[in-house]
Structure 1
Amino acid sequence: CASSCSSSITGVISENHGGNGVENLGNVHHQFQKLLTELKKPTDAYELNIANKLYGEKNFQFLQEYMDNIKKFYLTTVESVDFNNAAEETRKKINSWVEKKIKNLFPKDSLTSTILVLVNAVYFKGQWDTKFDKKNTVEKEFWLNKDTSKPVQMMKQYDVFKFSSLEGMQAKILEIPYKGKDLSMILLLPDEVDGLQKLEDQLTAEKLIEWTSSQNMSDNFVDLYLPRFKLEETYDLKDTLRALGMVDVFNAQTANLSGMTGNENLLVSKVIHKSFVEVTEEGTTAASSTAVDFQMKSSPAYPFHCDHPFLFFIKHNKTNSILFLGRVSSP
């Protein structure tokens, strides 16, 4: 499975929460504004598009203050559409806006009786700083569990990478930089074929930051095997968000989005997330000096063979932000 970290959707909802919700959020909106501005800086090294869009029923009135705030903090606007009389046309319109890589975000007949749709689209295409040589790609077995395997196209690279062995976690971690080195893919590989669940159970954002810090990871010569993979998943995040404590907005009795409209007759009915990630020899559709290089080659290479389930993260290095994360259990 794969997921883009579309926390800005939660932020947009938080921005319109009535009562003291915005006060409790502190400067979170300013932080999102700062992050989105940083991520949108033009570059030739990779393509990264992050966009938010709101589609509101044309007969529903939204407060000007709310519209000003989402434009300021989340770089988005509300577009008036006709959900009541042209739901299918509106569905096609929304899907068209995100269809560069995400096909059919909303299935047919999914937008009847809708007042507002919040859409977050994230698209990333980057080339590896050092590409994998296609001539080295071979068919190898990927172990789904201790008893079952499947043949996959396994890419190979023998080079210097930032690497660390996480002894207490029975896992190891590797960073593969993208061209320009503003972004990297982080691979988190358990030592055991069936060790991923244990690793996921102990994983936290704080631990990931610690593991990927310059104090923990160092340049080492690594024998890397990484399968080509393509992941496309669709999720209804309603239950997930409820489990994280976002409960009131889904309940007609407790929802208070008066900061958006001036009244309390609005609630969130569904949150759909769809993601697409493809990894090849060229990169993702997600330098050492001579002296150091010589020293590394004189040392034994660390094996990093992703031939069993592992986690990956695509990270923006300057802001230390995770843009995508996913689990590869059957490439």
Structure 2
Amino acid sequence: MTPMMKQAASLRYGEFDHIAARVLELPYAGGAMSMFLLLPMGEGTQGFASMVTRLNENNMQAVTLGNNLVKKDVDLLLPRFRLEQTVSKTLIPALQNMGIIDIFDSRKVDLTGFGPLRNITVDKAIHKAFVEVNEEGTEAAAVTAAILVFKSASSSRDDLPIQFHCNRPFVFLIQDNDTQNILFMGAFKNPRGRAQ
């Protein structure tokens, strides 16, 4: 048994065969950021693996662009989850692989703009990410925002809401909508454990 949240709303939705996923956008208040849920079309570990192996930068941009999603009445079922990840030991090598090298070498770095001390270098680097999703909204790092909910008044059988039930592994991401930058990304695979 997994604690689930249920919501009926008018949300932006799309189906994308090229990544084998259904995508739902949950906008934050103000519209500056959104959470996107990528639910595999196929079930089980094979459906999840099929979706994840197709994800790349171009595919991610294609599914998160506003004009590729259409507003639909949606019946959303989403587990409550919490993600907390700390990266420390592998962060310096990762930064060095990206070309950030001088800051770790006392002979090359100049951090005097930060204070009067000389010969300062970076000895450790730690990154901590935090995302929690519950009925009150989403909290990410030190920022709290609420998901906008629009109640559907439609009762026609032709306008039945789309069922978007996250009852299997899925990918989620939080995007800055102005810059199209992904701020957080993770996968929910084990309801007894936690998001990854």
TM-score, length-scaled by structure 2: 0.72
Matched, 1:227 2:79: yes
Contact between 2:169 and 2:187, CA under 8 Å: does it hold in 1? yes
1:208 offset after TM fit, Å? Answer: 2.0
Structure 2 unaligned spans of 5+: 141-147
Q: Which of the pair is proportionally richer in helix?
A: 1
d(CA) in 2 for partners of 1:228, 1:203: 24
Matched letter for residue 157 of structure 1: Q
Q: Which of the pair is proportionally richer in strand?
A: 2
1:272 offset after TM fit, Å? Answer: 0.7
Partner SS state of residue 44, structure 2: coil
If asked which structure has higher relative contact order (CA below 8 Å, sep 6+), I would say 2
In the TM superposition, 1:69-84 aligns within 5 A as none
Contact between 1:221 and 1:296, CA under 8 Å: does it hold in 2? no
Identity of aligned residues (%): 36
TM-score, length-scaled by structure 1: 0.45
Partner of residue 15 from structure 2, selected from 165, 169, 194: 165
Matched, 1:217 2:69: yes
User: Which sits farther off after the overlay, 234-243 or 161-170?
Assistant: 234-243
- 2:101 match: 248
Contact between 2:6 and 2:76, CA under 8 Å: does it hold in 1? yes
Matched, 1:182 2:26: no
1:157 offset after TM fit, Å? Answer: 1.6
Contact between 1:232 and 1:275, CA under 8 Å: does it hold in 2? yes
d(CA) in 1 for partners of 2:119, 2:50: 44
Matched letter for residue 230 of structure 1: R
Contact between 1:221 and 1:297, CA under 8 Å: does it hold in 2? no
d(CA) in 2 for partners of 1:278, 1:289: 22
Matched, 1:205 2:57: yes
Partner SS state of residue 51, structure 2: helix
Matched, 1:273 2:127: yes
> How large is the RMSD of aligned CA atoms in angstroms?
3.3
Change (3 A) 1:232 1:214: closer
Partner of residue 328 from structure 1, selected from 177, 188, 192: 188
d(CA) in 2 for partners of 1:249, 1:202: 36
In the TM superposition, 1:300-319 aligns within 5 A as 300-319=160-179
Cα displacement string for residues 221-257 of structure 1 (whole angstroms, at most 9, x for unaligned residues): 22211000112111122233344x336347649x732
1:279 offset after TM fit, Å? Answer: 0.9
d(CA) in 2 for partners of 1:241, 1:168: 32
Contact between 1:249 and 1:268, CA under 8 Å: does it hold in 2? no
Contact between 2:19 and 2:55, CA under 8 Å: does it hold in 1? no
Structure 1 unaligned spans of 5+: 1-150
Give the count of matched residue pairs: 176
Please say which structure displays the higher CA radius of gyration.
1
Contact between 2:25 and 2:37, CA under 8 Å: does it hold in 1? yes
Matched letter for residue 229 of structure 1: F
